[in-house]
Amino acid sequence: QVQLVESGGGLVQAGGSLRLSCAASGRTFSSYNMGWFRQAPGKERELVAAIWRSGSSTYYADSVKGRFTLSRDNAKNTVYLQMDSLKPEDTAVYYCAADVRHLIATRPYEYDYWGQGTQVTVSS
């Protein structure tokens, strides 16, 4: 079993920054692909960014490219999402997720474990 705990959400003005953290426990962290998803009211959950097991490859949604940076620290069992130049449309609940089965994973159903979510609100 893998437990994921997110932190770092909050309220920020447009153009500001936040850093989300996701701490994992349970199995060997370095064997997971890690993803950050977000879900706004009335919308489907979407993949924002993902980082693969080795940490050498990352994926970003087009909407966040150049503004968000995902990194992992396997020694601390933690993945970070640095969010800069935030926009009101980034407002959502952000979820950390772990995939232990696939080479890469971009769909919610491919992820096995989920955190409880953290609210990010960007005011205009």
The predicted pLDDT at position 13 comes to 98
Residue closest to 119 by CA, chosen among 13, 7, 27 = 7
Number of neighbouring beta carbons within 10 Å of residue 67 = 15
Is residue 10 within 8 A of residue 20, CB to CB? The reply is no
- Residue-averaged pLDDT of the chain: 94
Res. 51 pLDDT band, cuts 50 70 90:
very high
SS3 assignment, position 88? helix
> 69-109, pLDDT tens digit by residue?
999 998 899 999 999 999 999 999 999 999 988 888 889 99
